[in-house]
Amino acid sequence: MIQRIQTIYIFLSSVLIFLIFIFPISEFFVDGNLSYIFRYRGIYELTDKAEIATITSLPLAVLFGIILVIGLINIFLFKNRGLQMRLCIFNIMLMLGSIGLAYYYIYFASVELAVTVRFSIVATFPLISAILTYMAFRGIYKDEKLVKSLDRIR
């Protein structure tokens, strides 16, 4: 059933991951002036007319894409709770890996470019998504437990 609370958790998690594709994850300052931004695709130098790619992060972009697709597919697997639980756990692991990879890129860029880093609220979205996905996992597990208990009564 799509109206279950765990479906709402998975949907909110997917929305947060989608917002990562829109907003920058962090900003880099040189002498107090905004010079670089870090998006899911990489680090971009801000000029007067455009953003110029300085460091690309294709693995991070692919990882966020996979997380989003798994989350959206997971919403419609409500009839197969076992697979839905496994995908939730796999997605949580991917989210935690994406956090590590994003912070690796940020650390690498801050050392290489000698800049000051300011994180935006978007940097916390993978962690919040992982928590929401865990809450969805718990709801799916409770449903599975309830169905199995009713099968024993018959």
Q: How far apart are CA 109 and CA 116, in angstroms?
A: 10
Instruction: Give how far the C-alpha of residue 42 lies from the chain's centroid of Cα atoms, to the nearest Å.
Output: 16
For 145, residues 6+ apart whose C-beta sits below 8 A from its C-beta are: none
Classify domain 5-148 at the CATH topology level.
Butyryl-CoA Dehydrogenase, subunit A; domain 3 (1.20.140)
CB atoms within 10 A of CB 57: 24
Instruction: Give how far the C-alpha of residue 68 lies from the chain's centroid of Cα atoms, to the nearest Å.
Output: 7
Provide the phi-psi class of 93: left if phi over 0, else alpha when psi is between -120 and 50, else beta: alpha
Tens of pLDDT, residues 34-55 = 788 999 999 888 887 888 888 8
Tens of pLDDT, residues 62-108 = 999 999 999 999 999 888 889 999 999 999 999 999 999 999 999 98
Q: How far apart are CA 90 and CA 96, in angstroms?
A: 10
Q: How far apart are CA 44 and CA 36, in angstroms?
A: 5
State the pTM of this model.
0.89
